[in-house]
Amino acid sequence: MARVRGTITGIMESWPIQLAIRDVDGREFVISLEEDTGVVTRRGVVGVSELREGQRVEVDVEDGGGDGGSATDDVVVLD
């Protein structure tokens, strides 16, 4: 389990969706969300449809066996 914090660089439209995230050190992660993963914003929990490239986010992930992992909780938008 790890916490990834960085900027969304891609929203892959598989279902569930996958997020490409670049952290402050320039490392690239790909995070698979779950069908019920929510997005926490200042307005509360919204759907993944409100994710946009360039948003700074934080998400807890577990190792997916590759260069990324699966989200274990909601995606928190930091902006």
Partner 1 sequence: MGKNKDHEAVASDGDGPGDEGYESDDGGYESVSSEGNGNGGSGGAAGELVEHGHEVAIHGGGTLEDVEGFDAAAAMTEGLADGETVPIDPELATLPECCPEEFEQPESVCGNDDRVRIRSTTRIPWRWNAQLIITSRNGRKSRCTGWFIGPHTVMTAGHCVYSHSNGGWAREIEVIPGMDASSRPFGSQVGRSFRSVTGWTNSKKPDYDYGAIILPNDSLGNKVGWFGFASLSDSSLKNLLVNNAGYPGDKPFGTQWYNAGRITKVTSRRLYYMLDTYGGQSGSPVWRYKDGKRHAVGIHAYGGCPNKATRINSAVFNNMVNWKQ
Among residues 7, 12, 38, 60, which is the contact residue for partner 1, using CB under 8 A? 12
Is 24 or 35 the residue whose CB approaches partner 1 more closely? 35
Q: How far is CA 48 from CA 17, 18, 24, 35, 37, in A?
A: 8, 10, 23, 9, 7
Least distance (Å) between residue 21 CB and partner 1: 10
35 binds partner 1 (CB under 8 A): yes
> Rounded CA gap, 61 and 69, in Å?
6
At residue 49, φ and ψ (nearest 5 deg) are: -65, -15
Residues at the interface with partner 1 (CB under 8 A):
8-18, 20, 28-32, 35, 43, 47-53, 64-70
